[in-house]
Structure 1
């Protein structure tokens, strides 16, 4: 199993830890610990993770629908 660790600025929840706390050392992304991750794309305020069966997880800023959740507010 490939595990995902994130670190850096937590602005808008972009690290996937359900908070906005800056992580100065890599921290396991527990929400994906049982997934086989095959690709990650990280940007300034958002992150996308592709798992082996084709699902994509996205977290971070939702401004202008940038995570693809058009039914949610920026603060959700």
Structure 2
């Protein structure tokens, strides 16, 4: 099962989301930023996190697009039973 959400946000919320996810990634997940594609002081970035359970795999992704001040969030759940 996969769900996704598109979230349009203010520049301030975009910056705060960037900081929060980058800090969260210090303990888990992968955070990739693209400084060469910065627009108006906002960097595009991706964050991927996963949680493996005995019979399930949960994957969460966040892809941020500064030109549209938008984030696309996905959640994928895989059941191996």
Q: Same fold (TM over 0.5)?
A: no
**TM-score band, normalised by shorter chain:** 0.3 to 0.5
| Larger RCO, structures 1/2 (Cα 8 Å, 6+ apart) | 2
Q: Which has the larger radius of gyration?
A: 2
TM-score for both structures, normalised by structure 1: 0.33
Q: Relative to total residues, which structure has the larger strand share, 1 or 2?
A: 2
Higher helix share: 2
TM-score, length-normalised on structure 2? 0.32
